[in-house]
Amino acid sequence: MKIGQILIFIISILIAITYYFIIKNYPELMPTYIQNLQKYFFSNPETPKQQPEYDIIIVGAGLAGLTSAYEANLISNGKLKILLLEQEKKYGGNSIKASSGINILNSPIQEKENIKDSYNLFYNDTIRSGKGKSIPQLVSTLVNDSHDIFNYYTNLGIDLSHVGLLGGHSAARTHRPEKVAVGYHLDSSMFNVVKDIKNIKYQVNSTVIELIYDKDKNEVNGVVYYDSFNKKNVKIYSKCVILTCGGFGHDFESDSLLKEFVPHLMNFPTTNGPQSKGIGMKIARKIGVQLVDMDQVQVHPTAFVNLKNRYEKNKILAAELIRGVGGILINQKGMRFSNELGTRDYVTKRILDNCEKNSNSPIDQYEAFIIINQKCVDIYGPNVYYYINLELLKKYNNFKEFANTFNIPYDKLSETIIKYNKNENGKEDEFGKKVFPMKFDLNEVIYAGIITPSIHYTMGGIKMNNNTEIYNINGQVIKGLFGAGEVTGGVHGGNRLGGNSLLECAVYGRKSAQSAYNLIKKLN
């Protein structure tokens, strides 16, 4: 054989090997006719498709993910093999930051405190707050199923023994523990339960970057995740995937969803943790999932401005409860400008319209003051010392000292307080406020801080139905894909009521597990 022939022979072998490698591993890179040939020659109808290693993969270990994992194990009597993937080094997400509470209807605590509440009141509050954008069936399930959540969590040793009234609610229904912050308590308690369940594998440093999707069957079969510890991508198959990976309230990346849908908010501060980058929505969108209400982003009226680092973009939330126990809002002129118990979007708008934007700030920071007294502190309970210890709420001996510190005209401020004290419960003041939890004495000790509206919650997300099944852009349910929590859209419409997000994680976290289990039973 001549040398030329040998070379051609070797090159042919190399080309064949390369082609075979690409066809096997990256068939989508080949022209369609080669893909068809490949199916004809290489696929054996007897050979099963890639065997799923897990029954369910859950993406994201916030409250929705932890609840979903727990429920899946519970209802299947430990028969399911579950993988819970978390991109960070630790579980938690935004859930762990929640500080006001979780809404529950007709709980034993409401009963004990003789609080009159009903399905209609709660449903209507949620629909009204959502400004006609919420999907009524999703709200109905949220409210109906909320009742069971009290026993569900308290049976696991979780304390929800205190109840309070938040803005936009017609009844006190927002439950919290006595001594610790609600989000931390729920997340850490659920994690402690989940970590001991042997069928649930919990894995951190694992960012899901792709859904494995069979377009022909409109079916999700697993995920690809980036293992940030070993620095490699891993492909893993499952019968179902549940997305519980939160919202996009901290998405300032180059492919930012905030920039795409609400560019006017890009320069606002945020209360969200850096994990909230909307990866769930982004990977779902790549396989044709329908997104809803993506331009509906909640700006919380009260995030603390930390005077030690005044212009930082990440802010600590001043929980709604501060206003719930009687806190009032004052502007630089010493005047009230809102019903402090109005909905979040209303109070935010009042701040933007009536308070000054800090001209020294590189971010869009509109500043107002929040004020409480010692009685408010006592009603709030030990958690309020978190803010006091960080000096986000600072102690002043009286209103005059506070006014002098911030150059607020004291005559105007004292006039405002005297007028406010004349209000009576049940009678509307000039801003429509009807409930006045606290009166103030100009000479008493007060605690005050600066607050500013900040990006807080993304109402939009992947479109789901009551069973947490996810729709594609053609309105078809995608088999094997479910979602729960902030990654989904449709529950809160144009504005989320405080306390409804943790409830959504609980109700739909459970539902996602039930739906996944039902599907798996059918497959087996």
Ligand X SMILES: Cc1cc2nc3c(=O)[nH]c(=O)nc-3n(C[C@H](O)[C@H](O)[C@H](O)COP(=O)(O)OP(=O)(O)OC[C@H]3O[C@@H](n4cnc5c(N)ncnc54)[C@H](O)[C@@H]3O)c2cc1C
Cβ-based neighbours of 5, under 8 Å, separated by 6 or more: none
Does the footprint of ligand X cover residue 212 (CB under 6 A)?
no
Q: State which of residues 350, 365, 499, 512 lies at the interface with ligand X (CB under 6 A).
A: 499
Strand order across the 102-103 sheet: 102-103, 174-176, 162-164
137, 285, 319: which is closest to 211 by C-alpha?
285
Q: State which of residues 167, 301, 485, 489 lies at the interface with ligand X (CB under 6 A).
A: 485
Residue among 141 and 331 whose Cβ is closer to ligand X:
141
Q: State which of residues 348, 500, 512, 514 lies at the interface with ligand X (CB under 6 A).
A: 500
Looking up tokens 């993406």 gives 59
Tokens linked to 316: 């600590």
Region of 149-157, 327-335, 434-442, 480-488 interacting with ligand X (CB under 6 A): 480-488
Region of 26-34, 194-202, 326-334, 483-491 interacting with ligand X (CB under 6 A): 483-491
CA distance 104 to 110: 9
Looking up tokens 């807080």 gives 456
Of 425-464, which residues contact ligand X (CB under 6 A)? Answer: 457
Q: How many residues bind ligand X (CB under 6 A)?
A: 45
Residue among 437 and 509 whose Cβ is closer to ligand X:
509
Residue among 332 and 465 whose Cβ is closer to ligand X:
465
Does the footprint of ligand X cover residue 173 (CB under 6 A)?
no
Of 96-125, which residues contact ligand X (CB under 6 A)? Answer: 97-102
Question: How many C-beta atoms lie closer than 10 Å to residue 16's C-beta?
Answer: 10
Does the footprint of ligand X cover residue 495 (CB under 6 A)?
no
Residue among 289 and 413 whose Cβ is closer to ligand X:
289
Rg for the chain (alpha carbons), in Å?
27
DSSP string covering 260-292: HH-GGGTTS-B-S-TT-S-HHHHHHHHTTB-EE
In which element (H, E) is residue 259 found? Answer: helix 257-261
Does the footprint of ligand X cover residue 296 (CB under 6 A)?
no
CA distance 31 to 29: 7
Site string for ligand X, 320-359 (x = CB under 6 A): ----------------------------------------
Backbone angles phi, psi at 234, to 5 degrees: -130, 135
Residue among 172 and 317 whose Cβ is closer to ligand X:
317
What is the three-class DSSP state of 430?
coil
Looking up tokens 């809803």 gives 292
Residue type, 72: A
Nearest-approach distance from CB 353 to ligand X, in angstroms = 24
Region of 71-79, 95-103, 393-401, 466-474 interacting with ligand X (CB under 6 A): 95-103
Annotated catalytic residue 300: yes
How far is C-alpha 517 from the geometric centre of its chain's CA atoms? 24
Question: How many C-beta atoms lie closer than 10 Å to residue 39's C-beta?
Answer: 10
Region of 27-35, 84-92, 139-147, 261-269 interacting with ligand X (CB under 6 A): 84-92
Tokens linked to 25: 């591993």
Residue among 58 and 403 whose Cβ is closer to ligand X:
58
Does the footprint of ligand X cover residue 59 (CB under 6 A)?
yes
Q: State which of residues 72, 138, 208, 392 lies at the interface with ligand X (CB under 6 A).
A: 208
Region of 144-152, 269-277, 414-422, 463-471 interacting with ligand X (CB under 6 A): 269-277
CA distance 70 to 65: 9
Residue among 372 and 484 whose Cβ is closer to ligand X:
484
Does the footprint of ligand X cover residue 183 (CB under 6 A)?
yes
Does the footprint of ligand X cover residue 68 (CB under 6 A)?
no
Does the footprint of ligand X cover residue 287 (CB under 6 A)?
no
**CA 257 to each of CA 212, 461, 483, 504: distance values in angstroms, whole numbers, following the listed order:** 22, 11, 19, 22
Residue type, 311: Y
CA distance 117 to 175: 14
Does the footprint of ligand X cover residue 61 (CB under 6 A)?
yes
* Active-site residue, selected from the candidate residues 175, 176, 185, 323: 323
Annotated catalytic residue 169: no
**CA angle in degrees (0–180, nearest 5) for 496-497-502:** 85
Does the footprint of ligand X cover residue 63 (CB under 6 A)?
yes
Q: State which of residues 94, 107, 290, 365 lies at the interface with ligand X (CB under 6 A).
A: 94
Residue among 164 and 334 whose Cβ is closer to ligand X:
164
Nearest-approach distance from CB 468 to ligand X, in angstroms = 12
Region of 194-202, 239-247, 433-441, 474-482 interacting with ligand X (CB under 6 A): 239-247
Angle between helix axes 182-194 and 500-523 (nearest 10 degrees) is 20
Strands 82-85 and 54-59 turn out to be parallel
CA distance 45 to 127: 51
CA distance 493 to 463: 12
Nearest-approach distance from CB 211 to ligand X, in angstroms = 10
What is the three-class DSSP state of 118?
coil
Decide: 454 and 300 in contact? Cβ < 8 Å: yes
DSSP 86: -
* Active-site residue, selected from the candidate residues 300, 456, 492, 496: 300
Nearest-approach distance from CB 63 to ligand X, in angstroms = 5
Region of 9-17, 18-26, 335-343, 500-508 interacting with ligand X (CB under 6 A): 500-508
Footprint of ligand X (CB under 6 A) = 59-65, 85-88, 92-95, 97-102, 182-183, 207-208, 244-246, 271-272, 275-276, 279-280, 317, 457, 485-487, 498-502, 505
Task: Tell me which residues are annotated as active site.
Answer: 300, 323
